[in-house]
Chain A
């Protein structure tokens, strides 16, 4: 039984401190937005959570390719870990978005391309988990999971483009807005700093969680092996 690595403990502490600072920045450092008011503050964690969700699915697709090329079990554990974390953060992204949309768009939900894509993405990875749970053989589970993670990730941009050919009302805070976007705003320097800091915090949080989850996956493997050993 390996002890928890020192570096992981350090990373835990750093993540916790960063999170406290980021939360404080969101509430006290960033100015109140002129038109939307307090509810705009959800934006910082909304985009950061969405970023971590996408990062998780990207890592899962890369781990899938790496697994198919090398056949090492570590990549499979990493892929599953990334999908699980990605799903949680993509869900946080959807929920915080709904909280913001209720006062700004006057509805909890609309079939905007980003919202549609986010939903379909969650469904793809829910299917991924169902696929894995339907297979007993660990090697086959890893291979099928890797292939589906790659295919699912590739289909996401196409889903987005196909939904985007309809008109969108989602604001684009970075880059140019489509005409007709509702709830757009320009960021002042303190806002931008808060935003960048939130993104950074969430990325570190992602790395921390991924490490924990991969470690957990390896320990689960070890338990499985020990079980087989004692039973035979």
Chain B
């Protein structure tokens, strides 16, 4: 009697539908939470990204001699190069962690939609990217005595990071499965995200220099178009990347 009831319990568990918006959101939340929890305990990814980002700014300080005049024109460029470099570091690490300890296989065995895994990883990466940006911006503001807290700039950073992470998550899951994985991600990623970087740099510069909105809109539109197209393509092709 006991045995049969436990069997029915098991059966009902298995018959939980694997699709549907609620299970999808639950699976997605679980993947994001897993990444955040692992990070909160180890802090290896964020600390590496942050220290690296600050080092990049330091190097720029000497490479470009960031005096008041130069700063007005190159601030947005320096910021985006910093985010892009720190971003590759984070993307690589976040996927390598899954691969090294066999977590990816575990994730793939779970009876959830594969796209939930993709979006979960992408949102996790996006959160790490936002944290790094949220620390770099005030530090840069203090170090160079420029006010970077501008709603428009934050909007550009949001849109740019989404596009960067959407492609970056897909390509990093490709790069970790190759022989030359550590060097491959930037080589794969940078030529493809050039539109994001150009538009973000020009958009940020527009907001920082107080250029008219009519001249900034084309860049924002470009960022939105890029985000939509590449999130959709990554969502459609992720299955082929992780399938064995």
Interaction A to B: yes
- Enumerate chain A interface residues (CB-CB to B < 8 A): 68, 120, 123-124, 127, 130-131, 134-136, 140, 143-144, 146-148, 150-152, 154-155, 158-159, 161-163, 165
In the assembled complex, how far is the CB of residue A151 from the closest CB belonging to chain B, in whole angstroms?
6
Q: Per-position contact with A for B141-176: 1 when CB-CB < 8 Å, else 0?
A: 000000000000000000000000001001100100
> Contact between B241 and A143 (Cβ–Cβ < 8 Å)?
yes
Number of A-B contacts (CB under 8 A): 85
Measured CA separation A68–B240 after assembly (Å): 7
| Nearest CB of B to A79, in Å | 14
Q: Is the interface of A mostly helix, strand, loop or mixed?
A: helix
Q: Which of B's residues lie within 8 Å of A, judged by CB?
A: 167, 170-171, 174, 177-181, 184, 187-188, 190-195, 198-199, 202, 218-219, 222, 225-226, 229-230, 233-234, 237, 240-241, 243
B225 lies within 8 A of A158 (CB) = yes
Q: A131 to chain B: which residues have CB within 8 Å?
A: 174, 178, 184, 188
Indicate whether A147 sits within 8 Å of B222 (C-beta atoms), given known contacts A120-B194, A152-B192: no
Partner of B188, one of A127, A135, A136, A162: A127
Residues of A within 8 A of B184 (CB): 130-131, 134
* Interfacial chain B residues near A130, Cβ < 8 Å: 180, 184, 187
Q: Which residues of B contact A161 (CB under 8 A)?
A: 195, 222
Does the CB pair B225–A146 fall under 8 Å? no
Query: In whole angstroms, what is the CA distance A150 to B233 when docked?
Result: 9
A148 to B229, CA, bound (A): 15
Could you say which of A143, A147, A155 contacts B194, with CB atoms under 8 Å apart?
A155
Q: Which of chain B's residues have a CB closer than 8 A to the CB of A152?
A: 191-192
User: Which A residues lie within 8 Å of B174 (CB)?
Assistant: 131, 144, 147-148
Task: Give the shortest distance, in Å, between A153 (CB) and chain B (any CB).
Answer: 10
User: Smallest CB–CB gap between A126 and chain B, Å?
Assistant: 8
Residue of B nearest to A144 (CB): B174
CB distance from B211 to the nearest CB of A (A): 13
Within 8 Å by CB of B240, from A134, A146, A154, lies A146
In the complex, are the beta carbons of A165 and B194 less than 8 A apart?
A: no
Residue numbers in A under 8 Å from B194 (CB-CB): 120, 155, 159, 162
Among residues of A, the one whose C-beta sits closest to the C-beta of B201 is: A162
A123 to B171, CA, bound (A): 15
A155 / chain B contacts, CB cutoff of 8 Å: 191-195, 230
The reply to whether A165 and B192 contact each other, CB–CB distance below 8 Å, is no
Give A68 to B239 CA distance when docked, in angstroms: 10
A162 touches B229 (CB 8 A): no
B202 engages A165 (CB within 8 Å): yes
A158 to B: closest C-beta gap in Å: 4
Docked Cα-Cα span, A22 to B241, in Å, equals 44
Best-surrounded residue of B167, B188, B222 (most CB of chain A within 10 A): B188
